[in-house]
Amino acid sequence: MSRVSRIPNLGGAKAFVLHRPHPTVAAIMRQLTAIGLEATECWPELPPEALAADFVFFDVDFGFDEQFPWRPGEAPMPLIALIGSEAPGRIEWALSHKADAQLLKPIGNAGVYSALLIARQSFGARRRLADEIAALQARVAERQTIVRAVAALTTQGVDDDRAYAQLRSLAMSWQISMEEAARRVVAMTRPDEREGDDHSHLA
């Protein structure tokens, strides 16, 4: 039984090389073409169509924030840093853009393929982690809303268990989720919005 390769096929992917005219660019372009990517070189900034790219290589030595059509650290694709100078300020700038892989200059006849694979995997892992964090934050916010809704209902002279049961009953009668019902209850029981209301509409 043959093993299925886990290495992705990069043929047809689009890459932009954001670097001033230099032998480094020619070396990268040769390797990208050999791998099967559609490669475009540009300087001093990325064109709008780069937003649909699969990879972006960028020059760390002479790079600056305004070259990118996104804020530092928010690139929608894997970034590969091209590093010549190891000056701390330049490295710090590259880190601010959350480069997913790097290549040290001068660049010879190898290295681009492994950088592409590493960048893609690193970018994917970072995206998955960000999605998981966002989902957890949303769940925490929803639970806090439920707690606030139960607290609002307990002001009507019922204990926590009965208030929770009442919230669940409201969700069923409104045919919505508990979280959405909690948001409605919180909105309807805010003192500044419902001042003087006896909350009889929640009964």
More confident position, 43 or 173: 43
What is the domain count for the chain? 2
CATH of the domain at 184: 1.10.10
Mean pLDDT of 78-87: 94
Q: Burial letters for 37-68: b for 16+ Cβ neighbours within 10 Å, e otherwise?
A: bebbbbeeebeeebeebbbbbbbbbebeeebb
Q: Could you say which of 77, 110, 143 is where a domain stops?
A: 110
Whose tokens are 């790079």? That residue is 63
Tell me: pLDDT of 110 over 80: yes
**Structural domain span for residue 150:** 134-202
Residue 165 forms part of a structural domain: yes
> Given pLDDT bands bounded at 50, 70 and 90, which one contains residue 103?
very high
Residue 77 and residue 157 in one domain:
no
Residue 128 forms part of a structural domain: no
Residue 6 forms part of a structural domain: no
| pLDDT of the residue at 198 | 46
What would the pLDDT profile of 10-65 be if each residue is shown by its tens digit?
888 999 999 999 999 999 999 999 999 999 999 999 999 999 999 999 999 999 99
Tell me: pLDDT of 85 over 70: yes
| pLDDT of the residue at 30 | 96
Q: Looking at 55-64, 130-139, 173-182, 184-193, which range is the least confident one?
A: 184-193
Percent of the chain's residues with pLDDT above 90: 53
Tell me: pLDDT of 181 over 80: yes
What number of CA atoms fall less than 13 Å from residue 25's CA on the CB side? 14
* C-alpha R_g of the chain: 27
CATH of the domain at 89: 3.40.50.2300
More confident position, 8 or 57: 57
